[in-house]
Amino acid sequence: MGNLSSLLVILVSFVLAHTARFNFAALDNSYLLVLLTGLLLSSVILPATGAYRSEFRWDLMRKVRRLIAGWAVVVMSLLTIATLLKITAEYSRIWFGLWVVMSSALLVLTSIFQLLWIKYSSKSLRNLTRMILVGSGEAAARVESRLASDQASGMVLLERFGTDWSKNPVRPVAEIKSFIAANSVEDVWIATDFEDRQLLEAALAALKDSVVDVHVVPDFSQYRLLNQNVTEWQGLPVISLSGTPMTGSEWRLKASMDRVGAATLIVATSPLLLLIALCVKLTSPGPAIFRQLRHGIRGEPIQVLKFRTMKLHVEPDGQITQAKPEDDRVTAVGRLLRRTSFDELPQLFNVLKGEMSLVGPRPHPLELNEQYLDRIPKYMFRHKAKPGMTGWAQVNGLRGITDTEEKMVMRIEHDLWYIQNWSLWLDLQILMRTPFAMFGRNAY
């Protein structure tokens, strides 16, 4: 379902909700303004969730989650605007609730209808693209599997060539030319294992006099990559192996949510922030705020803020000692702050400045990064996203001290999984789970 269909669903839901609440009364200008604002926000936010990506046309649940998450952001934005303008009393709560519920239900139902329609129409295709697959090993097997599962691909696989990579018979590359001439083949797909250059060259040599369309599927499965994609620069194809995972509208949406969320939380928690700062200052000598250099996005150093939880002390150069149970450096107030994660609340100002995100890989001290940089593969890939106040690792119990390499490996695995699978819905899930993960659990 494209963005236009989603906007139509939201419009129809608005009219139905208004009719149900006001019994066919004329639409007041104030309600019309809400509708126009809602449609404008939806036209920007819903596409930014990535819900309309072509790869989600068969993944109903992922598409629906992104749509509902985007609609939730629209609803929260409308509520925030109305609250700031102090006009919430001018609107019917019953109407607003009906609109939100109806839109959510119709977005889901329309997505289901679209999936059923694609399945139906794919069965009635008359002009299927006739193709052959040339390859070796797992690379070719993966392509064949994807072709078999993609019912809307519009392609029919006529034959397989190369080495024995399929459960079906595989013919030698030398027979490609004659097979194409006899069977009106339109497309040739080549998928070889990364190191199998000989087969790739043989296939291209066999196709040098053919006019069929040739597509090469690169195999990078043996490498841990992020956001791999193909672009063009000065007429040259460029394959990005580890680009920034969140780009374009998705990046801007996440950044906007971070700043709005941080500003709202700073205002809401300002009495608590002042109280904690006062307690820290009165119970031990030294500043209330502790500043520490950590790596931000792209590995750039940022100064992360925390409430000071330890007595003033000096660490040896290039060394950091993580807090342990019964650590005598931790103050009484600091111990409580660490157990509740309230010591990290000042990082809301880092989020407001754009240095951090509400959700992302937790930033490590520079010394800790140096310690594990060469010991854990792809360790620095976690800096392809902004560091967060909370993250996928933290809500899965990987919070606090990392006194063994195994714990750090598990944390990095969760960080990389988050970066590769980012969505607005995932961020909302993590934020909702964070309060339940804040207390205790490996924090000293």
φ, ψ for residue 254 (rounded to 5)?
-65, -45
CA distance 219 to 207: 20
DSSP string, 355-411: SSEEESPPPPBHHHHHHHTTTSTTGGGGGGS--EEE-HHHHTT--S---SHHHHHHH
Q: Give the CB-side neighbour count of residue 164, counting CA atoms within 13 A.
A: 1
| Rounded (10°) angle between helices 176-183 and 197-206 | 40
Domains of the chain by start residue, with CATH: 3-123 (no CATH), 129-222 (3.40.50.720), 248-437 (no CATH)
Model pLDDT, residue 212:
87
- In which band, very low, low, confident or very high, does the pLDDT at 149 lie, cut at 50, 70 and 90? confident
CA 14, CA 33: separation in Å to the nearest integer? 12
Q: Residues 272-289: what's their mean pLDDT?
A: 93
Can you give the length of the chain in residues?
Answer: 444
Average pLDDT over residues 342-346: 93
Query: Given a cut of 60, is residue 443 above it in pLDDT?
Result: no
Which is higher by pLDDT, 111 or 246?
A: 111
In sequence order, the 6+-apart residues with CB closer than 8 A to the CB of 121 are: 152
As a three-state string, the secondary structure of 278-296 is HHHHHHCCCCCEEEEEEEC
The C-alpha R_g of the chain, in whole angstroms, comes to 27
Residue 229 predicted with pLDDT over 80: no
The predicted model gives 104-126 an average pLDDT of 75
Q: What is the DSSP letter of 316?
A: P
Please choose, from the candidates 434, 348, 370, 424, the residue with its C-alpha nearest in 3D space to the C-alpha of residue 399. Answer: 434
Higher per-residue confidence, 242 vs 136: 136
Tell me the pLDDT tens digit for each residue of 422-434: 888 888 889 989 8
Question: What is the pLDDT averaged over residues 175-179?
Answer: 91
Structure-token pair, residue 408? 């750090």
* CA atoms lying within 13 Å on the CB side of residue 253: 28
Neighbouring residues of 84: CB distance < 8 A, sequence distance ≥ 6? none
Helices and strands, counts by H and E, the chain? 14, 10
| CA 19 to chain CA mean position, Å | 38
- Name the helix (H) or strand (E) containing 40: helix 29-48
Bigger pLDDT: 132 or 166? Answer: 132
What is the share, in percent, of the chain residues with pLDDT greater than 90? 29
Mean pLDDT score, 189-196: 84
